[in-house]
């Protein structure tokens, strides 16, 4: 046993996933749509709204929709109704008073520079307001900008139009950037693990989620009783199982375990009976 205990230090890693707020916010529903603002323009990055929309499916299907331990199911929602100041407005977190104050002042002088109003679910757009990005080398920013209690209602992803850095990336890297930003929209923060999608820099060969990403999305959107992938319809899986005594675990996993194991015992008993009846008939 003491030799086994010696192994324990080796299964500790320095890095871990983080969350982008201190209250573990996530979308209430595990089914979330990702839209492109229909009126956004990206002349500096030389991409069209159709180009942007075509990045959504691979960004969600190759990354976030691949985690069986998470109940999350992202879908492309196509184009959303355009927001008038989407291309120039200021994106502020609802708790960032400094940002809101600055945006109010700017919006008084030029309404197009005011705060971008929140939308439902996740919206992607291009934006040329330098104040949103803090530098031309920043590819994009994401802020969950509408909450209901501890739940995210809407999040906005803005691609930096003050430089052509995003437009110069390969298609695979653009997909990686969009997938990373969707991770922020879902509630995840950065990690220092270079293998993870939520690492703070882009890496050239981004093909799958890293372990940190998988753990993080499973924490924010846990699945309660996935019945071989059929749970959405059969058990109505709905996310969090809290061990907090105020929120006791749901019955679905227990129910499904009973069914599965009960089936085993039944099968075992049937086989045993068949065996004994064969033995009797032989004698």
Question: Which residues, 6+ apart, have CB-to-CB distance to 169 below 8 Å?
Answer: 139, 177, 202
Contact 178, 157 (CB under 8 A): yes
Beta-bridged to residue 217, according to DSSP, are none
What is residue 281's three-state secondary structure?
helix
Closest distance between another protein and the C-beta of residue 81, in Å? 29
Strand 151-160 and strand 140-148: pairing?
Answer: antiparallel
Closest distance between another protein and the C-beta of residue 76, in Å? 13
Closer to another protein by CB, 97 or 269: give it: 269
Closest distance between another protein and the C-beta of residue 72, in Å? 10
Indicate the DSSP class of residue 228.
T
Task: Write out the DSSP string of 53-113.
Answer: HHHHHHHHHTTGGG-TTB--EEEEEEEEPPPTTTTTPBP--TT-HHHHHHHHHHHHH-GGG
Closer to another protein by CB, 24 or 111: give it: 24
Closest distance between another protein and the C-beta of residue 189, in Å? 3
Closer to another protein by CB, 35 or 133: give it: 133
Rama region for 239: left / alpha / beta (φ>0; ψ in -120 to 50; rest)? left
Closer to another protein by CB, 81 or 260: give it: 260
Closest distance between another protein and the C-beta of residue 144, in Å? 13
The dihedral of CA 144, 157, 68, 237: what is its sign?
A: positive
Closest distance between another protein and the C-beta of residue 248, in Å? 10
Closer to another protein by CB, 89 or 222: give it: 222
Closest distance between another protein and the C-beta of residue 128, in Å? 17
Residue 168 burial class via C-beta count within 10 angstroms: exposed 0-12, middle 13-18, buried 19 and up: exposed
Task: Write out the DSSP string of 39-56.
Answer: T--BTTTTB-HHHHHHHH
Question: Which residues, 6+ apart, have CB-to-CB distance to 239 below 8 Å?
Answer: 30, 71, 221, 222, 223, 224
Closer to another protein by CB, 148 or 271: give it: 271
Closer to another protein by CB, 148 or 242: give it: 242
């Amino acid at each position: 046993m003491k030799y086994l205990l010696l192994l324990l230090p080796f299964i500790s890693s320095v890095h871990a996933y983080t969350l982008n707020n201190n209250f573990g916010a996530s979308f209430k529903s595990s089914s979330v749509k990702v839209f492109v603002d229909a009126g956004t323009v990206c002349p500096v990055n030389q991409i069209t709204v159709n180009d942007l929309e075509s990045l959504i499916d691979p960004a969600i299907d190759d990354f976030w929709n691949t985690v069986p331990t998470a109940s999350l199911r992202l879908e492309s929602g196509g184009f959303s109704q355009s927001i008038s100041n989407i291309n120039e407005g200021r994106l502020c977190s609802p708790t960032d008073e400094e940002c809101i104050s600055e945006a109010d002042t700017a919006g008084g002088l030029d309404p197009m520079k005011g705060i971008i109003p929140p939308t439902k679910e996740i919206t992607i757009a291009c934006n040329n307001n330098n104040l949103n990005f803090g530098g031309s080398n920043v590819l994009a920013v994401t802020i969950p900008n509408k909450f209901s209690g501890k739940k995210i209602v809407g999040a906005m992803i803005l691609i930096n139009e003050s430089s052509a850095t995003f437009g110069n990336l390969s298609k695979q890297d653009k997909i990686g950037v969009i997938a990373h930003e969707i991770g922020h929209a879902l509630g995840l923060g950065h990690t220092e693990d270079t293998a993870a999608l939520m690492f703070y820099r882009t890496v050239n060969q981004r093909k799958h989620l890293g372990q940190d990403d998988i753990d993080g999305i499973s924490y924010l959107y846990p699945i309660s009783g996935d019945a071989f992938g059929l749970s959405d319809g059969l058990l109505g899986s709905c996310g969090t199982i809290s061990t907090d005594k105020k929120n006791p675990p749901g019955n679905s996993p227990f129910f499904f375990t009973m069914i599965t194991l009960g089936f085993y015992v039944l099968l075992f008993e049937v086989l045993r009976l068949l065996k004994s009846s064969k033995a009797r008939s032989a004698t």
